[in-house]
């Protein structure tokens, strides 16, 4: 099947959003293919929510374009192709959980049954509880249930687990993951690194309204921090090792060599083919290091670093 002919779930081109003096999004261009699970990762103020609002048609770009399955955002919502769990979307405290879902379901032409979405969000047991009496996590699950009603092809989640305890967060992601197994495209914003690392197939790192890294979790990690190649190599020649293309620094500890590399593949290949190295190990540094390196104000801005192998 030719990839080119498939309409992307999300297509952003030269997207800008200014709020008076603040340039919240400064030229974002990216595509998300159907079926991808993508994390929009970045510190507060990186432009995650602003970008999501534009994808959903809740705000208009200052310039640039947004298309969702080839449609205008509003059209995509009207036709039920996209839905979202928002940080700020309010619920009516005086309705019960089930009433809220029924109300929302009645607005869609072909909704999934209310019982089904409540079950999938794990809140069938508290269907009769007033929303005002439900916990933050339960309310978030209700928003998730509401987002499932149109059976969307694309589900967008904006910091969905903010304010949940660890257990609630885990349970929430378990239901999302179960759901994504059905082939739904998922885009979620988060500032929790481990959420991006564990649940996304692709991470888009934002800083000051720009994409600073885009790739798989390990590509993003490697991009900022490189990898460390470790091997057993008696009588290593430190100067020779330092000349391997892609090696950045060499450390020799007895029979063990540690090479920090921007291109770990090339270093590994060299060690295995040109030396007698054994027990070779390649480790990426934690995503947190990449996150700090790429999003701190010391990092160079205005440049888009593209991780290898990613369109």
Partner 1 sequence: MTAQSVQPAPVQPPPPRSAPWRGINPTVLRLEIRRLLRNRRTVIFALIVPVVLFLFVGTNKAYARLPDGHGNVSLFLLVSMALYGAALATTAGGAMVSLERAQGWSRQLRLTPLGPVSYILIKTITAMILGLSSVIAVFVIGRLTGVPEAYHGYTYLWFASAASVWVGSLVFAALGLFIGYLLPSENVMQFLGLVMAALSFAGGLFFPLNRAASVLQDIAKWTPMYGLNQLVHAPLLGGTIDIMWVVNAVAWFGIFTAGAVYLFRRDTARV
Rounded to the nearest whole angstrom, what is the least distance from the CB of residue 209 to partner 1 in the complex?
Answer: 19
How many of the other CB atoms lie within 10 Å of CB of 225? 21
Cα angle value 86/217/49 (rounded, 5°) = 20
Rounded to the nearest whole angstrom, what is the least distance from the CB of residue 130 to partner 1 in the complex?
Answer: 9
Q: Which two tokens stand for residue 191?
A: 């500032």
Return the number of the residue (108 or 192) whose C-beta is nearest partner 1. Answer: 108
The C-alpha atoms of residue 96 and residue 19 are separated, in whole angstroms, by 37
Rounded to the nearest whole angstrom, what is the least distance from the CB of residue 5 to partner 1 in the complex?
Answer: 5
Instruction: Count Cβ atoms within 10 A of the Cβ of residue 1 and give its class: 0-12 exposed, 13-18 middle, 19 or more buried.
Output: exposed
Return the number of the residue (107 or 239) whose C-beta is nearest partner 1. Answer: 107
Walk across the sheet containing 227-232 and list its strands.
Answer: 247-253, 256-261, 227-232, 278-284
Q: Is 168 helix (H, G, I), strand (E, B) or coil?
A: helix
Return the number of the residue (149 or 203) whose C-beta is nearest partner 1. Answer: 149
Q: What DSSP character marks residue 71?
A: B
Rounded to the nearest whole angstrom, what is the least distance from the CB of residue 310 to partner 1 in the complex?
Answer: 20
**CA separation (Å) from 120 to 18, 45, 148, 152?**
38, 32, 9, 14
Return the number of the residue (81 or 208) whose C-beta is nearest partner 1. Answer: 81
Rounded to the nearest whole angstrom, what is the least distance from the CB of residue 88 to partner 1 in the complex?
Answer: 6
φ, ψ at 227 (rounded to 5°) = -125, 165
Return the number of the residue (98 or 197) whose C-beta is nearest partner 1. Answer: 98
Rounded to the nearest whole angstrom, what is the least distance from the CB of residue 79 to partner 1 in the complex?
Answer: 5
> Strand ranges (DSSP E) for 70-218?
82-85, 154-158, 185-190, 202-207, 210-215
Return the number of the residue (121 or 307) whose C-beta is nearest partner 1. Answer: 121
Instruction: Count Cβ atoms within 10 A of the Cβ of residue 305 and give its class: 0-12 exposed, 13-18 middle, 19 or more buried.
Output: middle
Number of residues written out for the chain: 311
Contact by Cβ (8 Å): 86, 40: no
Which residues make up the interface to partner 1 (CB under 8 A)?
Answer: 1, 4-7, 56-59, 67, 70, 75, 77-81, 83-84, 86, 88-95, 99, 102-110, 143, 146-147, 150
Return the number of the residue (25 or 56) whose C-beta is nearest partner 1. Answer: 56
Rounded to the nearest whole angstrom, what is the least distance from the CB of residue 238 to partner 1 in the complex?
Answer: 54
**CA separation (Å) from 39 to 139, 195, 305?**
22, 8, 16
Rounded to the nearest whole angstrom, what is the least distance from the CB of residue 156 to partner 1 in the complex?
Answer: 9
Q: Which two tokens stand for residue 296?
A: 């701190």
Return the number of the residue (11 or 219) whose C-beta is nearest partner 1. Answer: 11
């Amino acid at each position: 099947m030719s990839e080119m002919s498939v309409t992307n779930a999300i297509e952003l081109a030269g997207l800008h959003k200014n709020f008076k003096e603040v340039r919240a999004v400064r030229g974002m261009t990216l595509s998300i293919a159907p079926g991808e699970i993508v994390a929009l990762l970045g510190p507060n103020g990186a432009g995650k929510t602003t970008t999501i609002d534009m994808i959903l048609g809740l705000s208009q770009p200052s310039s640039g374009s947004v298309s969702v399955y080839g449609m205008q955002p509003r059209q995509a919502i009207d036709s039920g192709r996209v839905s979202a769990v928002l940080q700020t979307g309010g619920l009516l405290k005086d309705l019960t959980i089930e009433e809220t879902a029924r109300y929302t379901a009645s607005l869609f032409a072909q909704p999934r049954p209310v019982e089904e979405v409540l079950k999938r969000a794990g809140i069938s047991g508290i269907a009769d509880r007033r929303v005002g009496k439900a916990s933050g996590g339960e309310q978030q699950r209700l928003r998730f249930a509401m987002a499932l009603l149109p059976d969307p092809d694309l589900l967008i989640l904006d910091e969905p687990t903010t304010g949940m305890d660890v257990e609630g967060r885990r349970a929430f992601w378990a239901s999302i993951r179960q759901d994504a197994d059905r082939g739904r495209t998922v885009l979620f914003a988060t500032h929790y690194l481990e959420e991006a690392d564990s649940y996304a197939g692709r991470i888009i790192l934002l800083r000051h309204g720009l994409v600073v890294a885009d790739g798989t979790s390990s590509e993003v990690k490697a991009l900022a921090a490189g990898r460390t190649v470790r091997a057993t190599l008696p009588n290593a020649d430190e100067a020779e090792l330092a000349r391997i293309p892609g090696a950045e620094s060499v450390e020799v500890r007895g029979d063990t060599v540690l090479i920090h590399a921007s291109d770990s593949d090339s270093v590994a290949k060299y060690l295995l083919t040109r030396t007698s190295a054994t027990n070779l190990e390649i480790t990426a540094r934690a995503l947190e290091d990449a996150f700090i390196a790429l999003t701190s104000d010391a990092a160079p801005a205005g440049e888009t670093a593209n991780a290898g192998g990613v369109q």
